[in-house]
Copies of this chain bind each other. A is one copy, B any other.
Amino acid sequence: MTPTGSALKPMVTKLAQRTALGPAERDALMSLPHRTAQLRRGAFIAREGEKSLRCCLLLSGFAYRHKMTGDGARQILAVHVQGDLIDLQNGLLAQADHNLQPLTGIEVAFIPHEAILAVAEAFPQVARALMADLAATGSMLGEWLLNVGRRNARERICHLLCELALRQEAAGIRVGGDYAWPITQEQLGDATGLTSVHINRTLQGLRREGILSTSSRRVTVTNWGRLREQGDFTPDYLHLPGQEEDEDEARSLGSPQPA
C-alpha cells in the first residue's frame, strides 16, 4: 500500500464531476488504501467467473472489458481511458461476469472493494457518486447495444471513433486533432460485432473519403462533422460534465477542426 494518496486524484475528480463531493468526502476517497501496479498487454485484471477482490483505477493507458460466447467469439463491452474506475461492478456481484484486460501497457491503482464500500457507507454522497458511475456505465452499454444492434458497419465504426475521441478529451489526454487509437482492427471488430476484414475495408472507405487518416496507433480526424454525422453520434450517453444543455456539447466535438 503506497501512502501517496494523490494517485487517486483522477478518480475523485471524475466522481465529483457528476456528484458534488465535499472536502471530507474527497479526503476519505484520496486516502483509500491502494497499491499501484504496471500491467502489460495480455495480463488479466479480472476474469469472468472469478470473484473480484479489488476494484481498479486506471491511471494511464487503455483497458477493455469483454466476454465470450460458448464457441469462443468475443464481444468487447467497453474501452476504458485513464481516470476510469473499472471493475467496481464485479465487486458488487458474486462473480465477475466479464474479463478485464489492458489494451496497452497500463498503470493502475488497486483498491480493495471493502475499503471503497466503507467510504461509501460513511459518506452517502460517495455512495451516490458510485451509483451514478454505475448508472453511467450502464448507459454506455445501452448505447453500444444500440450501436451493434441497429447501425451498419460504417456507422458503428464512426460512432466508436467519436466516443473515444470525446472520452480522451474529457480525460485530458488529447493534444491536437489526432488522438490515441489503442485498438487493433481485430479488436475494433470485436467491439462492433464485425469481422476484422470488414473493418479494414470500411476504414479504407473512410480514409478514401477524407474523413480520417491513421498512423501508428493514432487517428487523425480530418472531417469531424462527417464523422459525427456518419456515426449518428450524440454524446449524451457518456454523461460527461457540462452537457446539461444538449446541443451545445454535440457541436463542440466538431470544434477542434472547424469542418
Q: Is the CB of B71 within 8 A of A232?
A: yes
Given A134-B131, A141-B141: A232 and B97 interface contact (C-beta under 8 Å): no
Q: For the complex, what is the distance from the CA of A253 to the CA of B97, rounded to whole Å?
A: 19
Q: For the complex, what is the distance from the CA of A142 to the CA of B136, rounded to whole Å?
A: 14
Q: Mark A123-137, 1 if CB is under 8 A from B, else 0.
A: 010011011101111
Q: Is the CB of B121 within 8 A of A117?
A: no
Q: How many residues of A contact B (CB 8 A)?
A: 57
Q: Is the CB of A89 within 8 A of B150?
A: no
* B-contacting 9-mer, from A28-36, A73-81, A176-184: A73-81
* B-contacting 9-mer, from A6-14, A164-172, A200-208, A236-244: A236-244
A95 at the interface (CB under 8 A from B): yes
Closest B residue to A236 using CB positions: B97
Q: Is the CB of A193 within 8 A of B128?
A: no
Q: Is the CB of B149 within 8 A of A192?
A: yes
A139 at the interface (CB under 8 A from B): yes
Name the prevailing secondary structure of the A interface residues.
helix
| A150 CB contacts on chain B under 8 angstroms | 69, 73-75, 193
A256 at the interface (CB under 8 A from B): no
A49 at the interface (CB under 8 A from B): yes
| A120 CB contacts on chain B under 8 angstroms | 124, 127-128, 131
A144 at the interface (CB under 8 A from B): yes
Q: Is the CB of B69 within 8 A of A131?
A: no
Q: For the complex, what is the distance from the CA of A27 to the CA of B42, rounded to whole Å?
A: 48
A146 at the interface (CB under 8 A from B): yes
Given A97-B139, A121-B127, A124-B121: A145 and B92 interface contact (C-beta under 8 Å): no
A22 at the interface (CB under 8 A from B): no
Closest B residue to A142 using CB positions: B77
Q: Which of B69, B95, B155, B239 contacts A93 (CB 8 A)?
A: B239
6 contacts between A and B (CB under 8 A): A75-B150, A93-B132, A120-B124, A121-B127, A134-B138, A149-B190
